[in-house]
Chain A
Amino acid sequence: MLNTSEDIKVDDETVRMRTENLNAFFGRTQALKNITIAIPKNKVLSIIGPSGCGKSTFLRCLNRMHEEIGGTIKGEIFLGSQDIMNLDPVNLRKKIGMIFQKPNPFPTMSVSDNVTAGLRLNGFRNKKKLQEIVEENLIKAALWDEVKENLNQPGINLSGGQQQRLCIARTLAVNPEVILMDEPCSALDPISTAKIEELIKDLKKTFTIVIVTHNMQQAARVSAYTAFLYMGELIEYGKTLNMFTRPGKKQTEDYVTGRFG
């Protein structure tokens, strides 16, 4: 398989998602070129690369958010054995959650309403169960102890780092299989960043995580695998340790050592 290093075996046991010749466009501009990659199950995959290389676009193809802003996708994207291009995007996004760069809790909703938004707006009404879901997912997102007294306060009254963990709890409540994170820490201070990174290490036990990051130390700290994108192409993909210590391509080496990008 093109561009996929030999240390990742592609089979249904270890691979949660994979793309086959994925091309993405904004109008006539091509943002991604023939990306073929396997996303390992219950692991963290980092996507790194300079600004404008297509990292975010790649991530937004995986839950078909790319099409929501007028982009087009060509190629195949598999979740398990299903091609997601044949699935209903609304249902797909219940299985593939997304965390954004800027924390975006819903401004008119309380902390607990934010957590349950995905369920409530899709018709789930059992109040007692919803309360349990609030507690369960705030605990999973390592936020419960900080907000348990203020569950009815507006979600936007929390600090930036807390808001981002609230957004994670909101995504977890829908019970996805894969979580996409688009630079989830770049708007946060170092302490909040450390908390989110701890959380990611915890979450990978149950979820498959793909994280886009500008911070190479972060990629090294949290991820088992790293993919390097440049100008819309997948340059190299492999185990994070190998990517940072003995990359196979000159471009990768230049980028991870800070010579460009």
Chain B
Amino acid sequence: MASIYYYRWRRTKSHIMAALCFASALIALIPLFLIFYYTMSKGLSSINWSFFTQMPKPAGETGGGMANALIGTGILIAIGSSIGLPVGILAGIYLSAHRTTLFSRIVRFLTEVLNGIPSIVIGVVAYILVVIPMKRFSALAGGVSLGILMIPLVTRTAEEMLNLIPQSYREASLGLGISRWKTTLFVILPAAFKGIFTGILLSIARAAGETAPLLFTALGNRFWSTQLDQPIASLTVFIYDYSKAPFDDWNRQAWAAALVLIVLVMLINIIFRIVTRKRYA
């Protein structure tokens, strides 16, 4: 009898814990739904074709769009990626190949530190490194700050994904008389591709959502600019500027831009899922 009693009590405990877990999962989703609800209800009305294709109107006039901010975010991410991805992936390969050396440990630790540094501080660093020598705010400076931000994320995922590839594939390749660098490039890296690709997209999504490091690097620009040595607009700075402006229409546009940004990041995630599913069914 005692055993049945304990079994029931155990089962009850199990059910309580499962219910708590479920409730927590639900609570975790609430902020996401709230964000969605608010941005949709406040921003959806301002989204139309001209919002994507037109330039911002002068203060006081209604209407206009954020075409320059869209292209600006695109350019900033492109610059950031061209710095963050190669450095991150190569550093990840290095750390995975030399797991226990002192240098690797130091690099790994510093990467974690870099990952924890507030993004606004990284903005200051880019300001000192690029803005001051160039004597002006520029797309390049913004891109550099995003690139620095992406490095630790890409490095860590690349290293972790490479470490997941069984050592036996490496040995099989070396055993065929294939050199180490070819083994890494043509055997190990393709096997870890899916995971590294996830890291790349997550880091791009994170960079797309950053405002602080752009404030005193890319600055923002109310006009059309694709020049790398000039200040450039971005979605996040657009949201920042428009949300604190004293015009209702601008506030609505800030909500709309926020919605666009969220959907953009979600699209990146969805595209990556489809792409990886197709290639590695």
Contacts and interface: CB of A to CB of B under 8 A. Distances in A.
Interface of A: 63, 65, 68, 90-95, 97-98, 100, 102, 104-108, 117-118, 121-122, 167, 170-171, 174
Interface residues of B, number: 18
The B contact surface, by secondary structure, is helix
A121 B172 contact: no
Nearest to B174: A68
19 contacts: A90-B174, A92-B177, A93-B176, A93-B177, A95-B177, A97-B176, A100-B168, A100-B172, A102-B168, A104-B171, A106-B169, A106-B191, A107-B169, A107-B191, A108-B190, A117-B178, A121-B186, A122-B177, A122-B182
B230 interface: no
B58 interface: no
Contact of A65 (B171, B187, B190, B191): B171
B166 interface: yes
A121 B168 contact: no
Given A104-B166, A121-B186, A93 B174 contact: yes
Nearest to B185: A121
A108 B168 contact: no
Nearest to A114: B172
Nearest to B169: A104
A188 to B, nearest CB: 15
Contacts of A105: 172
Interface in B147-187: 166, 168-169, 171-179, 182, 186-187
Nearest to A70: B100
A65 B175 contact: yes
Contacts of B186: 121
B82 to A, nearest CB: 26
Contacts of A107: 169, 191
Contacts of A104: 166, 168-169, 171-172
A171 B193 CA distance: 25
Interface in B59-91: none
Most buried by A among B169, B172, B191: B172
Contacts of B179: 90
Given A68-B171, A100-B168, A121-B186, A90 B191 contact: no
A169 B43 CA distance: 62
Given A104-B169, A106-B169, A108-B190, A63 B175 contact: yes
Interface string B125-140: 0000000000000000
A110 B178 CA distance: 18
**Pairs A-B, 10 closest by C-beta atoms:** A94-B177, A118-B176, A98-B175, A93-B177, A104-B168, A108-B190, A104-B172, A121-B178, A90-B179, A121-B182
Given A104-B166, A108-B190, A174 B172 contact: no
A100 B176 CA distance: 12
B207 to A, nearest CB: 28
A106 B187 contact: yes
B178 A65 contact: no
A241 B123 CA distance: 76
A91 B177 CA distance: 6
A117 B173 contact: yes
Nearest to A93: B177
